[in-house]
Amino acid sequence: MTQNVDRETVVSRLLGTDDILILCHKNPDGDTIGSSAALCKALQHLGKTTAVLCSDPIPAMYDYMQITVYDGSFTPAFVVAVDVAGIQLFGDHNNIQDYAEHVDLCIDHHGSNSGYAYETLVDDHAAAAAELLTELIPQMGVELTPEIAACLYTGVATDTGCFRFTNTTANTHLAAAKLIEAGADVEKLNERLFECRSHARIQAEKMALESLEFYYEDRCALICLTWDQIQAAGVAGAELEDLTSIPRSIEGVEVGLTLRQQKDGSYKISVRTGHDTNACNIARRLGGGGHPRAAGCEISGNLDNAKHAILEEVKKELDRAEAEKNSLEQ
């Protein structure tokens, strides 16, 4: 059972140790990469030996962060996980499981965090782990340099859909303001993260839209990409992350589902919901988790099985929301 700790304890732990390994979640997104890179750079500024380890390759779109990737040149004495809500999210490559089962400290913003680390700091009011680290790093006595600020801005911006998602708060904007003041070049970062799409990414979006299906009187929309389609398009996983917003953006859709087949045949499912339904409720019942408006899970088996399982949970949540709405109206 984990011990929940406060920010002062986290700072004390990080300042009091060396040879620190920082773990990301598999299929890395902007928040886990940006947060890990920022923490790594901050610790290096303090003269500590540290590096980042991820089960999957770090997407080329994030190469501007110049991340120190763990190469086995030191033996970790302290293991930190950033933006990883559950042990199943670490993946199986690069020997990451050797460390995933012995995480000393987890820094996260998911209320669904399973408590797998010895000590855990979770702030589910933060829109991103990077928002949390924007406060923690200065508390460590490290200045927010332009390089650190760029990493943290990447995490904050990507996890909020460039400040469009409902997880965006006044504090999120204040964090972004600090990062801009610290030297994050938001014009270049926003262009790279949100405006520039490769030919492969556009081809993948075309295939995904061709799979579009509606359920439950058009209150649920679903798109899907098979592993063969992803390979045929030649698109990196990180470039597919923003596909998850497409189904929910359709008028009248309350629940948007994006199914992406993984190399092992399983399906990574992203759930996005409107104000009346809870995405985390849907994903949690299938072993996943996340936030009220954005969550995810993985399902083994063929496409029909994956669709059946997730749609069954969507129906339960739509029915729950409808019953609650009717109760309030009476």
Residue at 2: amino acid letter: T
Equal CATH topology for 3-194 and 199-329: no
pLDDT at 329: 75
Within 13 A of 61's CA, how many CA atoms are on the CB side? 25
Query: Which of the residues in the chain have pLDDT under 70?
Result: 330
CB 278 within 8 A of CB 292: yes
What does CATH list as the number for 199-329?
3.10.310.30
Q: What are phi and psi of 192, to 5 degrees?
A: -70, -40
The dihedral sign for the CA sequence 174, 178, 183, 184 = negative
Residues 6+ apart with CB under 8 A from 172: 126, 127, 128, 131, 156, 160, 163
CB 234 within 8 A of CB 214: no
DSSP conformational letter for 69 = B
CB 120 within 8 A of CB 4: yes
Q: What is the pLDDT of residues 72-85, one digit of tens each?
A: 999 999 999 999 99
pLDDT at 269: 96
Q: Where are the domains of the chain?
A: 3-194, 199-329
pLDDT at 219: 97
CB-neighbour burial class of residue 62 (10 A; exposed 0-12, middle 13-18, buried 19+): buried
Q: Return d(Cα 238, Cα 293) in angstroms, integer.
A: 20
* Tokens (6 digits) for 124: 């589910």
Residues 6+ apart with CB under 8 A from 97: 90
Binning the chain into helix, strand and coil, the percentages to the nearest 5 are 45, 15, 40
Residue at 297: amino acid letter: C
* Tokens (6 digits) for 226: 């098979």
Q: Return d(Cα 264, Cα 97) in angstroms, integer.
A: 17
pTM: 0.86
pLDDT at 213: 97
The sheet that has 20-23: what strands, in order across it? 3-4, 119-122, 105-108, 78-82, 20-23, 50-53
Query: For residue 40, what are the CA distances in angstroms to 23, 43, 130, 217, 314?
Result: 10, 5, 13, 48, 39
* Tokens (6 digits) for 96: 């990451």
What topology is assigned to 3-194 in CATH? Answer: inorganic pyrophosphatase (n-terminal core) (3.90.1640)
